[in-house]
Structure formats: C-alpha cells, structure tokens
Amino acid sequence: MYARCVSLKLAPNGRAEFINKLETDVIPLLRKQKGFQDEITFIAPVGNEAFGVSLWDSKDSAETYNRGAFVEVTKILSKLVEGTPQVETYDVANSTMHKINAALKAA
C-alpha cells in the first residue's frame, strides 16, 4: 500500500466550505480512481492548516492519480486554499484499519 500526504493552508473562513467540497466533490472523484483505498483528512482546531492522507493499492496508482485527477482536485479546492498544496509520498508500513502488516525491504 502507498500513501500520498498533502498539506495545505485553508483560506480564512474557508473551513466549512472545504469540508463540504471534500464530501461532495473530492471524495466521490477519489472513489472513481483506480487503486484508491481511503482518504483521511485532518484540520487543525485552531488556525488554517489541513492535512490529507490518501491510501492507494500501489505507487503506480498514486502516481497516475497525481498526474491526472489531482489536477482536478486542486481546481475544485483552489478558492479555499492559500498557496500550493505540498505533497509527500510514503510506503505504508502498517494499518490496523486495512489489516496491513507490510514487511518493508531494507534499502
């Protein structure tokens, strides 16, 4: 399993609309992507920071999403986000929710 971690800054007073856009536009789009497994989004209780983790069946699926539908997601959220979202990727070592206990090979 593979993870994409996206950090971003919400526009002032954009929290409620951001959550709504995630539920009505972004998550349905994610569910249509090949290899998509899950999305977890965190929003700071104070301030304007948000962080999303999407889980994918493989690095290839995540990269395909990054080159395609992620462009659409950034457009959907553009008026609610300040600056450019920062993306980092990771191999998933374990997940109790997804019953993963991956043995990562030493580099």
7 has pLDDT over 50: yes
pLDDT digits (tens, 9 = 90+) for 35-89: 999 999 999 988 899 999 999 999 999 999 999 999 999 999 999 999 999 999 9
pLDDT confidence tier of residue 100, bands split at 50, 70 and 90:
low
CA angle, residues 60, 56, 8, in degrees to nearest 5: 100
Range of the domain at 56: 2-101
Query: In the chain, how many domains are there?
Result: 1
User: What is the crossing angle of helices 59-67 and 69-77, to 10°?
Assistant: 50
Question: Could you tell me which of 1, 68, 86 has the C-alpha nearest to residue 32?
Answer: 68
pLDDT confidence tier of residue 95, bands split at 50, 70 and 90:
confident
Going through the chain in order, the beta strands assigned E by DSSP cover: 2-10, 36-43, 49-56, 81-91, 94-95, 100-101
CATH number at residue 90: 3.30.70.100
Q: Is there a contact between 6 and 86 (Cβ–Cβ < 8 Å)?
A: yes
